[in-house]
Amino acid sequence: MALRTIQLLHEPLPKEKVALAELAALAKQTTSELNSLPPIHASERDVWTIMDLLAFIKSDELELSFIHDGDWVRVSSSNFANLPYWFERSFDKETRRLRYEESVAGFEPVGLVIALVEKNGGTVFAELSGDSTYSLSFTLPVYREEL
């Protein structure tokens, strides 16, 4: 999985109109009404890879929620355990943004998620829930028809 993701980072796929409601596997991870969301502008394979990476590190309590937030679709998840060792240096406490560092993306699922989200024009945010748990949310741009 990690090697395939690294290949996506170095050989970007074209962005397209992706309807989240058509990605049937997402319905199993959320109670959000996917049909009410606008399509996003991303590579469908990148979206699948991001979701696979989140499933790789998820706990039994993890649930994804999807919210239309203006020009963005925000995806939120919670109850991740064991902060990555690099979290402190990648986390901006003021903005709550997690930034991609190539040095940690190699085989770290969260690092790969950050890299793919940023490559698709989005941002990853984190919220500390305690010493060893945290929540992640990220945005992906809403698809707009070209004029």
Strands 124-128 and 97-98: antiparallel
> Could you tell me if 26 and 5 are in contact, meaning their C-beta atoms sit under 8 angstroms apart?
no
Q: Report pTM.
A: 0.86
Mean pLDDT by 10 residues, the chain (147 residues): 72 90 80 91 91 72 85 89 82 91 69 90 89 87 84
Question: How much is the pLDDT for 147?
Answer: 46
In this predicted model, what pLDDT tens digit does every residue of 88-122 receive, in sequence order? 888 999 999 998 777 655 567 888 889 899 999 99
Nearest to 133 by CA among 79, 63, 76, 89: 79
